[in-house]
Amino acid sequence: MRQKKFTHKILWIATLMIYLYLLTKLILFKGGPVDFEIVRGQFMAFLHQPDLIHMRTVNLTPFQEISRDWNSLSLHRPGTAIHLVGNVLAFIPLGVFIPLLMGNKWLSGANVFLLSLLLSLSYEVTQLLTGMGIFDVDDLLLNTLGGLIGYIIFTMVIGMKQLLVGGESRVAKKNYNSKESHV
């Protein structure tokens, strides 16, 4: 049984690595070939000319791009839906991987929030420093929301599984055990 759990965990870690590779390919390389030499070259150029930072496009105003995209949707411009929905969808798997790999613990919702935000921030800062994209605070919001939606989906699936299989929930089991210890 222990070997089976270990094998499952290794498979989930491998799947997480593939997901992170594909996410990096999508966000930094816009679907093109992944070449970290490009990132290094762009970053070195920034280090030699730090004034380049002033030439980067940056959005630090929360909800600016979200509202612009929302307004464009009302004008029936479907391309903007890709930005809105894509930023959310891209991080939904992360909200599933985190509790799967860390165990479905009480604070895993907070872990999903924090790790989704930090991963998104690392991509945004990389885009800012390398010029391989636009630093956008709205992307941070949408990506983090995606991670949280993934976590909610994960907890709902686990809850449904417990209902269908008939197992007790952790909360019910904990309450029962604490009542036993007081008797």
Q: pLDDT tens-digit profile of 105-162?
A: 778 899 999 999 999 999 999 999 999 999 999 999 999 999 999 999 999 999 999 8
**Segment 85-103 mean pLDDT:** 94
Of 19-28, 78-87, 112-121, minimum mean pLDDT range: 78-87
Long-range CB contact pairs, 21-26, < 8 A, 24+: 23/90, 23/123, 24/123, 26/90
